[in-house]
Chain A
Amino acid sequence: DGGITQSPKYLFRKEGQNVTLSCEQNLNHDAMYWYRQDPGQGLRLIYYSQIVNDFQKGDIAEGYSVSREKKESFPLTVTSAQKNPTAFYLCASSLDRGQPQHFGDGTRLSIL
């Protein structure tokens, strides 16, 4: 089945530790996105990538990093510089600009 796969579903991070969230899509979509959702809030854009080997900062990029080495993969690293990383992280993709975004099932990140 075509879709967007995020892993793991739940992730725990110790203070001072970097963690990487996986996002893979087999929809042959060019564009991919990372969003953060805090309880009771809407989603906020962290990073986005329109094509392979290119990505741009969204509204809340500080403390996060991404790579786009392959069309189907867009991993997000939450670094130790992100002081409040506990949140629900959602990855999305779209065929290209002007097309609707479709979302993965998300990863819940918590601090130990």
Chain B
Amino acid sequence: GIQVEQSPPDLILQEGANSTLRCNFSDSVNNLQWFHQNPWGQLINLFYIPSGTKQNGRLSATTVATERYSLLYISSSQTTDSGVYFCAVDNTGFQKLVFGTGTRLLVSP
């Protein structure tokens, strides 16, 4: 099946810093989503982005489908950005998402 790798596995930032999270996948995809899991376990959908670029406030994402990677940019990070960021892909057309192991982000004040 399709493989999803995320990097870096852990990231520590000072409040106000910018960061880039990467997701590589091993096959072409129908769907790619970025999620944020907060410390209480809630999984929040950030972007639905099988290709192209999207922006939502301080967050933006770019997926280059032909090169099989996606990037999540976080600008002017805040302590509330802490948590785990997951990339998930589907290559079946049935929304059977395969998750990476995540990037654990800690933003310190």
- Chain B residues near A59 (CB-CB < 8 A): 1, 96
Closest to B100 in A: A42
Instruction: Find out whether the CB atom of B96 lies under 8 angstroms from the CB atom of A100.
Output: no
Q: Is the interface of A mostly helix, strand, loop or mixed?
A: strand
Alpha-carbon distance A44/B43, docked complex (angstroms): 14
A-B residue pairs, 8 tightest by C-beta: A42-B99, A100-B48, A103-B43, A43-B99, A42-B101, A106-B41, A105-B42, A97-B95
Interface residue range, chain B? 20 to 34
Q: Is A66 an interface residue (CB 8 A)?
A: no
Q: In the complex, which residues of chain A have a beta carbon less than 8 angstroms from the beta carbon of B33? A: 100-101
Scan residues 31-82 of chain B and give those whose CB is less than 8 A from a CB of chain A.
31, 33, 35, 40-45, 48
- Tell me the complex Cα distance, A16–B33, Å: 37
A: residues with CB less than 8 A from B are 31, 33, 35, 40-45, 48, 50, 56, 58-59, 88, 90, 94, 97-103, 105-106, 108
